[in-house]
Structure 1
Amino acid sequence: MIANELNGHQIVNNPTNYSWSFNLSSPQNKKQTEQSDKFAFDLCYENPLSGDLVLVRSQRTGKQAILKADALFVLKHCCEFRTIESHIQQISSKFAELRSNPDEVRQVLLTTRDAGLLISHQEIINKLSASTAESSPEAVPIICIPTCDRPDALQRLLFSIQENCTPNEFSHCIVIDDSRTEESRSQNEAIVQKAQHTLSFRVIYFGLSQQKQLQSALVALLPELSSEINFLIGNDQSLAGVTHGRSRNFALLLSVGQNVLLLDDDILCQAIDPPTPDNSVEISLSPREAEFYGLKEDWPHQKPATNSNPLTPHTQHLGMPLSTTLQKLTYRDKNKNQLKIESTNAIEQLNAQSKILITACGSYGDPGTSNREWIYHLPEATRKRLYESEEKYHQAKTIRNNWLGRSGYHLTNSITLISQITGLHNNTLLPPYFPLLRNEDYLFGEMTRFIHPDSLALDLPYAVPHLPLEKRECHPLEKQFLINPGFLRITGNFVADKKDIAPSNEASSRLKILAYLFENLAATPNKLLRNALKQQIMEIRTVRYNSLLQILQESPDAPDFWKEDIKQLTSIYQSALTTEDELSIFDIPGASDETELLDYMTTSWRQFGKALLAWPQIREAGATIIKKGLLK
């Protein structure tokens, strides 16, 4: 039974057990939209009323309506942009009790659309692509190559830059030496000295003595911030673990006011097309695609992209507003290319002025991690290709040789974790990296999104060869999954959980709030902190466990060899979820018990919080020192 009271702005639909109630703030009698247009339920604030009613208000437009709670529950499954008919099919597949009432479901969707809560894909595209003030062309970027004990790889990379790039496309190249051995440092310096005479671009060696020189100069300018400076860029050889973040902090200080491209030292600076390139432009939260190979010779095409220079695409888009980028990408090569927006979740904070602060690209070869958990969380089409043969699946588990990237241009308000070339728009205030441990890029990405909530990362549709010279092995299956996450992963999750607490849009104000967040974490009593950490770990495990179960459910026709591995891995997570274990963070160095672990974490958060407060001054002082000629 359906009752419609259009003049009173209230519509009640009662298909089976679901009832829907709308109380519109103003009538929105729109003409019937083209059948081909797509719609999605907007992100809304929810305010419970008496009974089972909820007042919902669009976060984007302020349009509001009163809905029955069960109606809202169904509509929240409509956040992906689909045609009305596609939404009806999806609702019918998820809610068996609504399958016999497609006309009533259609009426509810149309009413929701007319209320302004089901938004048009085309209208969103028009708004995000709307012209803004013309952006000034950015100056050529700086290349920074952090390197650690890989002289042969460094030499190979420098020659690769010479072969594939033209010198006028970047200002200069800085080799930031983070090597642990004197032998490697001497070899790296000799390689750079030779390159200065043989290569056509300017190469600067920034080794231990140069790093100490910058550190001393900063302390001389800001003596009251000496401990913060030393924490971010100090070279304490007694510290255990990797120091990727430290070398990247040098890159940020050496490039203030410019775009900077961070190149992994074990790549070739050469752009290769994805296996099946397309002309799409997508805004979504979807993961990267992948293909798996037995040998390097199995890579498709075996030829570079149309433009083999992998640096140019980064420089074309870093710092650009979204509208400018969309206009460039959707009308490039005199062809109008398709723009697809996945869902309202993907555009939660975005507007036409949102800037691209981070650029990334894919890779062929080594994936950069010995943990193969990621292969089970790939998009559905990629998963099907993965298990189409047992041999290919075995290769994926045991051979570190794959393509990981995008077939088309991909924009996201989330952050890409791994990229062998990363572009940073260092003209704006970016946070420093945490100087120690792995996953520094994940924490940096979450902090960047906290400081600039409407910012974007652009994942480019090309890949570079990632070819470590040292032999690397995959972990066996039973060690594929890290049940206990690392320190910076958990820290990044704490930041992500608080990203909506700061009302200010000013980056400097939000950086201060972020610093206070770290100081508050450091001041949390051990008992409360332990509970918070256990909850974070439990949430990470739960998400992964549920994801594996969903993937298994979505793959009824998958072969048994793949299903058995998924079942084995879900049982590992299930055991971890149901067993009360000791608090464990897998990468805390030197922590023999829980007290030492908590002490390391709180001390690190306290130091980093102070460093974040000091960072704008340190950053400005670094720019002053560089202008005075430190790199000459």
Structure 2
Amino acid sequence: MSDEPKVSYSFQMNTGAPQSRTEGAPAQPVRQEADQMLYAVDDFESLSVAGGTLLVGKHTGAQLLSQPQVAMVLQHCLEFRTLGEHAQRLTALFPQLGGNVNDALRVLGLVKDSGLMISAGSICERVNQSVSTNAVDRTKSFIITCDRPAAVARLLESLLHNGKLAQQKQLYLIDDSRQAENARHNREAVEQFNLVSPSTLAYIGPEEQADLITKLCAALPEDEPAVRFLFSREEWGGQKTYGRSRNLCLLLSVGERAVILDDDVLAMAVARPGTENAPVVADGMRSAEFYQDMTGWQRQWQPLDFDPLAGHGRCLGQSLAQALAEFGSEGLQPGQLAGASLSLFRDLHAESSVLVTQSGAVGDPGTTNNAWLPNLGSDNVRSMLASEGGLHTALTTRQCWVGQPRNTVTKRAVMSQVTGLDNRAELPPYFPALRGEDQLFGIMLDFLIPDSVVLEYAWSVPHLPVENRAGNPQGDSVVPKGGLQLLGSWLGEFKPFDASVDYDTRMDLLAARLDTLAQLSPSGLVARYRALLTRAQGFALQTLNDRLADTGTLDANWKGYLENNARACVAALQQPAALADIPDVPDDVDESAIVQVIQTRAAGFATALRAWRRIREVAPTL
């Protein structure tokens, strides 16, 4: 073996010969930045040209000629950090940089000076402009249920004890029950509730829903296919129609603020002692805590002096500037954007509307399995492994808290057992069936109204399913299989870069994108499915590797769980995916039939989007 020192190349901006330094030689000390401002790199195109690689900012239009490796490493600078933090992170991620932090810092300074970086301060300046105060009216509140009359009865009792029902404009129970006996129990529960409630609860069961559909079809005969796609259960056979119930909520609240409750929550806002009130801007990734049993969290969480209906109405429909002031914040500060993605928050301004509000859940997490655990941040994982029972408890008990430790401004609308929707804005419809309808709604909302925001409160609601939900002690697979999440990726690829593109054009783009999906050849559809799924699986593998790097040494079982899933992701990436792998596809359906169903549903959703405005205009007259 040679004793000669190894040579590694440093991070260079010019296109001449790279400088080198000897491994083992002391690294240069990191120079102090003139300021601690936060920066993120603008999305950019990279073009190979004579003399190097030309970087062109997609939003700023800034240009920079660099070496090819610069374009590669700048893909890891899309979140707000100081230049020093960026430099330290890049040298840790890329051993080929030779640990030369000062070189990285120098080049990042040149990138900033070229205009390819955007400062957190520039976004704060827009957000902190003075705005007028928006008056808000009372909310309409909706309970959505399907074949759980015991849960409905418990929630109604909770509303009577804890809810400020006189402050509600109207209450609704949207009943999607398949069993006539369950629907009958729910109707009777509503009748009993109305005998003592200060606000009337309207029962919207099968007959009432059929009447709404009939009236819509009569008013919009040319849009009958769209109406039935969005609102008719018969359109979907035996599939679970989670989004259909939410579409009925939207239909009955056009021009209003609405709060939607799952049937298995309690009408009670709870929080841990010491919860911070000051807001933060973040990517929306949630935190979690795990408990051995129900008494574990009941001892810690304390009821607050408001109910969830009033709590969601606090900021729903306000401007971002108003919402920040509501929590005592003196505007948005650059530090509140630390670690946040520029692509998520580029379009924020003072008048950005809080169109969705969310809250955490304590008790059952509400997920179909425990495959979400690797998505937790490293601090949450450390807390999970240090808690009583460690990983085993997290995998098996389904007694935990999932939410935000601080009031959080984000762009990600995710599953929330209680959700606020400002339906005075032209919100999109939900996809009527299958799971993942809430994430798809969030993607479409950001596509259509890119300067809107989601606010997740730091408080939670108890989520207590009446049926027994056991966790899988072996851990569920995290390998993505497809579903509405891939449809969201397909639609989001064509989101316009410029926020000034108007709503109508954006809706046309969404519908055209769905029409394109409906008209792909079978081989083309399979190819796009595989490309999107491979990307999702690659992201899952990267997440697993990140968790292995930052927490894999903490617990042997956790390390084994991550490694097993990482191997499964690698195996999935090495095999061409089949449409039959999509969740909820019956085993006996061949690929050609699956293609036909996907294309029919895509075309139906495109038709529904084009009719949506007309449906909304008619809705208040029903």
Judge conservation of contact 1:292–1:403 (CA < 8 Å) in 2. Answer: yes
| TM-superposition CA deviations, 1:51-86 (whole Å, max 9, x none) | 2131433725x5544434333444443333333433
Shift of 1:432: 1.3
Confirm or deny that 1:40 pairs with 2:40: yes
Name 2:217's counterpart in structure 1. 219
Comparing 263-272 and 293-302, the one that deviates more: 293-302
Are the aligned partners of 2:42 and 2:57 in contact in 1 as well (CA < 8 Å)? no
Structure 1 residues 299 and 63 mapped into 2: Cα distance closer, same or farther (>3 Å)?
same
CA contact (8 A) 1:56 1:67 kept: no
Alpha-carbon separation, structure 2, partners of 1:435 and 1:465: 26
Partner in structure 2 of residue 440 of structure 1: 437
Q: CA deviation at 1:590?
A: 7.9
Instruction: Classify 1:438/1:89 alpha carbon distance in 2 versus 1 (closer, same or farther; 3 Å).
Output: closer
Are residue 458 (structure 1) and residue 451 (structure 2) matched? no
State the alpha-carbon separation in 2 of the partners of residues 131 and 523 from structure 1. Answer: 48
* Alignment partner, residue 164 of structure 2: 166
CA gap of 1:252–1:378, structure 2 versus 1, over 3 A, is same
Q: Distance in 1 between matches of 2:12 and 2:576?
A: 42
Question: Structure 1 59/329 Cα, relative in aligned 2: closer, same or farther at 3 Å?
Answer: farther
Q: Aligned partners of 2:498, 2:116: CA distance in 1, in Å?
A: 26
Is 1:144 aligned with 2:126? no
Instruction: Please name the residue that 1:54 is paired with.
Output: 54
1:524 maps onto 2:520 in alignment = yes
Q: Which whole-Å CA distance do the structure 2 matches of 1:118 and 1:232 have between them? A: 43
User: In structure 2, the residue corresponding to 1:387 is in which secondary structure?
Assistant: helix
- For 1:561, the equivalent position in structure 2 comes to 557
8 Å CA contact 2:479–2:572 kept in 1: the answer is no
The SS at the match of 2:237 is coil
Separation (CA, whole Å) in 2 of partners of 1:467 and 1:90: 42
Residue 222 of structure 2 is aligned to residue 229 of structure 1: no
Question: Which residue in the other structure is 1:87 paired with?
Answer: 86
The answer for the alignment partner of 1:472 in structure 2 is 469
**Equivalents in 1 of 2:553, 2:214: separation in Å?**
63
Structure 2 residue 19 is matched with structure 1 residue 17: no
Is the 1:177–1:185 Cα contact (8 Å) retained in structure 2?
Answer: yes
**Match for 1:511 among 507, 510, 514?**
507
Query: How far apart, in 1, do the equivalents of 2:147 and 2:259 lie?
Result: 21
Pair 1:494 & 2:493 matched: no
Please state how far the C-alpha of 1:377 moved relative to its aligned partner.
1.4
Counterpart pick for 1:596 among 589, 593, 596? 593
Match of residue 5 from structure 1: none
Q: Secondary structure at the match of 2:505?
A: helix
Question: 1:249 touches 1:433 (CA, 8 Å); kept in 2?
Answer: yes
3-state SS of 1:468 partner: coil
1:304-351 Cα shifts (integer Å, max 9, x gaps): 35433222332222222223323333538x999973442423323333
* Cα offsets for 1:10-35 (capped at 9, x unmatched): xxxxx95332259xxxxxxxxx9863
Q: Single out whichever of 229-238 and 212-221 deviates more from structure 2.
A: 229-238
User: Is the CA contact (8 Å cut-off) linking 1:241 and 1:589 kept in structure 2?
Assistant: no
Residues in 1 aligned to 2:597 and 2:273: alpha-carbon distance in whole angstroms: 45
**C-alpha separation between the residues in 2 aligned to 1:484 and 1:197?**
48
Structure 1 pair 534–197 and aligned structure 2 pair: CA distance change class (3 A):
same
* 1:247 partnered with 2:240: no
Partner SS state of residue 311, structure 1: helix
Q: Do the aligned partners of residues 574 and 131 (structure 1) sit closer, same or farther apart at CA in structure 2, a change above 3 Å counting?
A: same
Distance 1:238 1:570, change over 3 A: closer
Q: Is the 8 A contact 1:148 1:179 kept in 2?
A: yes
Question: Which residue of structure 2 aligns with residue 186 of structure 1?
Answer: 184
Counterpart in the other structure of 1:25:
none
Q: Which residue number in structure 1 is paired with residue 375 of structure 2? A: 377
Matches of 1:213 and 1:525, distance apart in 2: 39
CA contact (8 A) 1:330 1:339 kept: no
* 1:420 matched to 2:417: yes
SS in structure 1 of the partner of residue 579 of structure 2: coil
Asked if the contact 1:257/1:428 (under 8 Å) is kept, the reply is yes
Deviation at 1:171, TM superposition (A): 0.7
1:480 positional shift = 3.6
Residue pair 1:286, 1:379 contacting (<8 A) in 2 also: no
Letter aligned with residue 217 of structure 1: K
* TM superposition shift of 1:589: 5.4
Q: Please give the alpha-carbon distance, in whole angstroms, between the structure 1 residues aligned to 2:396 and 2:501.
A: 46
TM-score (norm 1): 0.87
Unaligned runs of 5+ in 1: 1-14, 23-31, 626-632
Between 1:294-303 and 1:449-458, the stretch displaced more is: 294-303
CA drift of 1:352 comes to 2.9
Cα distance, 1:370 vs structure 2: 3.1
Per-residue deviation, residues 576-619 of structure 1 (Å, max 9, x unmatched) = 22234533212135861111111111111111111111111111
The alpha carbon displacement at 1:187 in A equals: 0.8
Q: Which residue of 1 aligns with 2:358?
A: 360
Q: Residues 474-530 of structure 1, C-alpha deviation per residue, up to 9 Å, x if partnerless?
A: 2453644455223x2222221122223898632233212211211221111111111
Taking a change above 3 Å as real, the CA distance of residues 437 and 43 of structure 1, as seen in their structure-2 partners, is closer
CA contact (8 A) 1:129 1:324 kept: no
TM-superposition CA deviations, 1:411-465 (whole Å, max 9, x none): 222x232100011111111111122222211221222122112221111111100
Cα 1:424–1:589 change in 2 (3 A) is farther
Find 1:297's aligned residue among 295, 298, 320. 295
Matching residue's letter, 1:190 = E
Give, in whole Å, the separation in 2 of the partners of 1:152 and 1:36: 56
Q: Shift of residue 168 of structure 1?
A: 4.2
C-alpha distance 416-237 of structure 1, shift in aligned 2 (>3 A): closer
CA distance in 2: counterparts of 1:498 and 1:93, whole angstroms: 33
**AA partner of residue 423 (structure 1):** G
Whole-angstrom distance in 2 between the partners of 1:167 and 1:526? 53
Q: Is the 8 A contact 1:283 1:346 kept in 2?
A: no
Distance in 2 between the 1:86 and 1:490 partners? 33
Q: 1:245 to 1:238 in 2, by over 3 A?
A: closer
Q: What is the SS of the residue equivalent to 2:312?
A: helix
Q: Is the deviation greater in 391-400 or in 114-123?
A: 114-123
What's the counterpart of residue 153 of structure 1? 151
Shift of 1:575: 1.9
CA apart distance, 1:567:
1.3
- How many residues align structurally? 597
CA distance 1:407–1:483, shift in 2 (3 Å): closer
Structure 1 position 583 matched with structure 2 position 579 = yes
In structure 2, the residue matched to 1:388 is 386
In structure 2, give the amino acid aligned to 1:463.
S
Identical aligned pairs, as a percentage?
31
2: CA distance between counterparts of 1:454 and 1:192?
A: 39
Q: How is 1:202-351 mapped onto 2 (pairs within 5 angstroms)?
A: 202-236=200-234, 239-274=237-272, 277-299=275-297, 301-331=299-329, 339-341=336-338, 342-351=340-349
Change in Cα spacing, 1:229 to 1:589, as seen in structure 2 (3 Å) is farther
Separation (CA, whole Å) in 2 of partners of 1:249 and 1:286: 24
Distance 2:70 2:607 in 1: 47
Task: Deviation per CA, 1:78-99: give whole Å up to 9, x if none.
Answer: 3333334333433332344556
Counterparts of 2:423 and 2:126, CA distance in 1 = 27
Checking the alignment, whether the CA contact within 8 Å between 1:367 and 1:402 is kept in structure 2 is yes
Aligned residues of 1:370 and 1:474 also touching (Cα < 8 A): no
- Using the size of structure 2 for normalisation, the TM-score is 0.89
Q: Which runs of no fewer than 5 residues in structure 2 stay unpaired?
A: 1-7, 16-31
Secondary structure of 1:236's counterpart equals: helix
Alpha-carbon distance in 2 for matches of 1:479, 1:96: 34
1:339 match: secondary structure:
helix
1:4 corresponds to: none
Distance in structure 1 (CA, Å) of the matches to 2:33 and 2:328: 23
Does the Cα contact within 8 Å between 2:363 and 2:400 map onto a contact in 1?
Answer: yes
615-624 or 77-86, which moves further after superposition? 77-86
